[in-house]
Amino acid sequence: MRWLLEFWKTDPPPPVSAIPRLVFKAMLFGALLAPLVSVIFDLATTRPWFGIWEYLPQLVWHSMQMGAIFSTSFYLTCGIPPAYIRPLSRCS
């Protein structure tokens, strides 16, 4: 799990050749975390609980897709740009 979270390390900024690997790790992180969060929220809000088992495969599949899309877009817009802007904005 440690290697999966290393895409958040941005000091110093990653080399341009490492960005595809980091984006893939962000996508994998979202795809693996989203089903767990989705099932927890669904169990907390769905009554009766036995009804979740009917659509659990679709729930997991769609949450993996949405988690991968969300985490990838978040990382591309809010993760990588600050890594390259931070050294420029430091007052020396």
Give the model confidence (pLDDT) of 29-62 as tens digits: 999 999 998 878 877 886 676 777 788 888 889 9
Inside any domain, residue 51: yes
- The boundaries of the domain holding residue 36 are 24-78
pLDDT at 34: 93
Closest CA to 7 of 16, 82, 17, 24: 24
pLDDT at 89: 77
Q: Which has more confidence, 87 or 61?
A: 61
Inside any domain, residue 84: no
Number of domains in the chain: 1
Inside any domain, residue 46: yes
Closest CA to 68 of 27, 8, 37: 27
Inside any domain, residue 63: yes
Inside any domain, residue 71: yes
Inside any domain, residue 37: yes
Closest CA to 32 of 6, 3, 71: 71
- Alpha-helix residue ranges (DSSP H) falling in 16-79: 19-45, 56-78
Inside any domain, residue 90: no
Task: Please calculate the CA angle 88-90-91 and round it to the nearest 5 degrees.
Answer: 120
Inside any domain, residue 66: yes
